[in-house]
Amino acid sequence: MKKRVLLVNKFYYRRGGDCVYTLALERLLRSHGHDVAVWSMRHPCNGPSQYEGIFAPEVRFDGSLSSRFKAAARTLGYAGVRRAFAAMLDVFRPDVVHLNNIHSYISPTVALMAHRRGIKVVWTLHDYKLLCPSYLCLYRGEVCEGCFSDKTAVMRRRCMKNSAAAGALAWAEAVRWNRRRLTESVDTFICPSRFMRDKMLQGGYPADKLTVMANFVSAETCETLSSCPPDEHGDYYCYVGRLSPEKGVDRLLEVAAGLPYKLQVIGDGPSGDALRQRYGSCANIKFTGNCDTPEVMSRLSRARFSIIPSVCYENCPLGVIESLCAGTPVAGALIGGIPELIDDGDGLCFTAADAVDMSRAVHEAFSRRWDYEGIRSRAGERFSAEKYYGSLTDIYAL
């Protein structure tokens, strides 16, 4: 039976992995005949939507005091979000509300509202916000699980922007949308990795509401990624992603600067300027900045291998999945859900934040003879959109 599915995400454009997933899921469900709508926050970069007039009003965490006050109120479920979401539910009348990245700019109040109307609520978890108020499970660059059992840690340690006020707001948000309220309102939490499921169990969430489903790659992306012949991989390796401390790019560049191999760094972020200033003169390191999707896919498809040097609890990084679907092996840090994605023959792993072991992995990845076509074939089957759709519709039907 076809469902009326309302997808909810805080942005409706390609801003991050959660947005890429939401947009791909919208296309996938529509291709199978479901009536699908997306509800989001108003934003100038959003794609066109017939429902944009009843999107949540835009809020910003910068600007005037009034602007920041509205944004703070939004995290607690105010500032117009409930009125707008009620209007969306009245107009679209969904069978399923499928939540994605909703904290801060939308808020989990939408889960409670849908549940009270008897609508099935499914939530794909893209980060650790339900366990860690600051998302990253990091404290001063080290893995931290202090908030799993005591949410006041986010205030005491100033984990949010090193600010007592931001920490207090994150604590208040975590208390308001606590485990009990969310468990009562959500029918199924989709965990894109076993690691995420284990952490949710550790945080007290019930096993019968947690389902593991690795993210998928759309048919369109797979077609683009497969355009490079398997024998045309070049003489470089690449990093694709955000340039920020939790991604471990600083340690990667420290290692890369001392190796004889060419590295392409594709993407940008808050650490971009500092990293370019420090390593921009290295002959074997090339910063491409942000590239459009076809260019990213082309560079990824032609790399000898890609590298994921994260120092945080990654969930199910799209960078690993897209690399494998391109037939490009992955050298990934042994942290979070990364190792689950790298089977024998598809890449190798190294100790997170360990420069010596990372250097060893880079040398080994360059010296191996990879079965690029085999990697591509296995990944295409494993991360198939159709396979994902079959599992998702089972969840919708429960």
Specify the pLDDT at position 310: 97
Residue 229 binned pLDDT confidence (cut-offs 50, 70, 90): low
Residue 311 binned pLDDT confidence (cut-offs 50, 70, 90): very high
Q: Which residues contact 237 (CB under 8 A, 6 or more apart)?
A: 261, 262, 263, 264, 303, 304, 305, 306, 307, 331, 362, 365, 366
Q: State the average pLDDT over residues 226-232.
A: 65
Q: Answer whether 326's CB lies under 8 Å from 207's CB.
A: no
Report the percentage of the chain scoring pLDDT > 70: 98
Asked if residue 223 has pLDDT above 90, the reply is no
Residue 384 binned pLDDT confidence (cut-offs 50, 70, 90): very high
Specify the pLDDT at position 390: 95
Q: Answer whether 350's CB lies under 8 Å from 331's CB.
A: yes
How many Cα neighbours within 13 Å face the side chain of 191? 24
Asked if residue 50 has pLDDT above 70, the reply is yes
Residue 220 binned pLDDT confidence (cut-offs 50, 70, 90): confident
State how far the Cα of 366 lies from the Cα of 132, in Å rounded to an integer: 37
Q: State the average pLDDT over residues 280-301.
A: 91
Residues listed for the chain: 398
Q: State the average pLDDT over residues 87-99.
A: 97
Q: Which long-range contacts (CB under 8 A, 24 or more apart) does 71-76 make?
A: 71/104, 72/169, 74/104, 74/105, 74/106, 74/107, 75/103, 75/104, 75/107, 75/169, 75/172, 75/173, 76/107, 76/172, 76/173, 76/176
Q: Which helix (H) or strand (E) holds 253?
A: helix 249-256
Specify the pLDDT at position 362: 98
Residue 230 binned pLDDT confidence (cut-offs 50, 70, 90): low
State how far the Cα of 95 lies from the Cα of 107, in Å rounded to an integer: 20
Q: State the average pLDDT over residues 194-220.
A: 95
* β pairing state of 138-139 and 142-143: antiparallel
More confident residue, 266 or 139: 266
Specify the pLDDT at position 86: 98
Specify the pLDDT at position 228: 64
Q: What pTM, to 2 d.p., does this model score?
A: 0.94
Q: State the average pLDDT over residues 360-370.
A: 96
Specify the pLDDT at position 141: 84
pLDDT in tens, 101-150: 999 899 999 999 999 999 999 999 999 999 999 888 888 888 998 888 88
**Of 87-96, 168-177, 188-197, 348-357, minimum mean pLDDT range:** 168-177
Q: What is the DSSP letter of 120?
A: E
State how far the Cα of 268 lies from the Cα of 155, in Å rounded to an integer: 29
Asked if residue 304 has pLDDT above 70, the reply is yes
